[in-house]
Structure 1
Amino acid sequence: MQHYETEIPVGGHWSLEMKRGTQLTLRDVDGNGNAGMLFFNPRNLLERYNAPDTLKCQHTFKLSKGHCLYSDMGRIFASVIEDDHGWHDTVCGNSHAAHVAEQWGARNYQRDRNQWHQNGYDAFLTEFSKYGLSAPDMAANINWFSKVITDADGNLSLGSKRSGAAKSVSLRFEMDTLVVMHACPHPLCSDEAYPRYRIGIELGLASPLTDDDVCLNHCDENRRGFKNNALYHFGG
């Protein structure tokens, strides 16, 4: 069986084309980590992850097991088939250089080496450049392992106990997908020190979709999404 493991270091970034039928498992190695993620169709980079459609068609504010991750063409990039964290954010976007500098002080790699302070936005742009993508291609991203809560006035905050060490989430890819990731702080993070948490990655082959699949049967919209995928792959 095909299997591969790696790790995104603190403030690091990573990308890979995941094939249809493969599985990606993320692990919060140290606890309280954040994994930013975006998806693109490698055959047509104009098709990318759509956070609003993902949430509204599944009637949710958070991501967890059973949810599908939609493109702006109504297709499903991936399905969340396992999740022992239970709450993942896809509304708050990225940290930026100005936010990181204000919160923890500006540091750069040339001067501070591995003790520098990277931000999610610039980490994504670094990976984007490998595929001819740039700032206009940025979209609202997923923040795995980050639980965002609201108060009575609708103000957002990051849950104080966001994750535990070794918590994981597994994605099954329903179409070929360019995955772009970073391990930078969540934009609502207010830790006293710059967060230094690693994200583990495990790649393998997914079990085939079955009629009783939790993602397929989560809601009527998901069943339509899988039909859109079937049409996309028709004759392939």
Structure 2
Amino acid sequence: MSKADMFRALHHHRVPGDPLVLPGPWDAASARVFAEAGFPALATPSAGVAASLGHEDGQVPADEMFAAVARIVRAVDVPVSADVEGGYGLAPKELVERLLETGAVGCNLEDSEDGVLKDPRAHADWLAEVRAAAGDRLFVNARVDTFTCGMTETDPAVERATLYVAAGADCVYPIGAPPEALPLLRAGIQGPINVGALTDEGPSPAELGARGATRITFGPGLQRRATRALREIVAGLRR
């Protein structure tokens, strides 16, 4: 079984309350920590990687992001999925080729740009092209940005998710969805659902799983928490 097949299998036949938890490494060292802790797979956060490279979120040149992902993949034996934002303007075939060159087995792809939602049908067509180019070699996690773009109802998220699943997405990620909305999203969406969790407050991964989450990611939360811890350590050195 390939790593992509292994990664895909981790998303299926999960029982409520037992979601797939995917820590987000921002460099090779953090990836090794998570893998050594026993997590079966990892998912890079674009904002965390950007911080490690000295960039603001959304400002990382494509070559730097792919190189960073490749270093993370090389550092561990477990499958790694990569957050590649909106695809950096690359054609689907080139995007897939660049991802496969890093060794990644999956990707996050956003459906907004600069805070503006893309046309859902056009985006679904683009996702279908990515799926066709990737075949079963990549697990496609289609981000749904309705909540972060100011919409509060679940219907727009469900409508977009339905289009993306029909286009071949393996999983959908209604980023920013409030925990109380998860049962409605679960009822309206076919297939795995990615939910973002906080690292120090809010519902636990198990609680989010019980509400309908298939997998849990943390965005840049772990990188930012590690940075806060490092600041505390450094402050102690100056006393």
| TM-score range relative to shorter protein | under 0.3
TM (norm. structure 2) is 0.23
TM (norm. structure 1) is 0.23
Give the number of the structure whose residues are more often strand, by fraction: 1
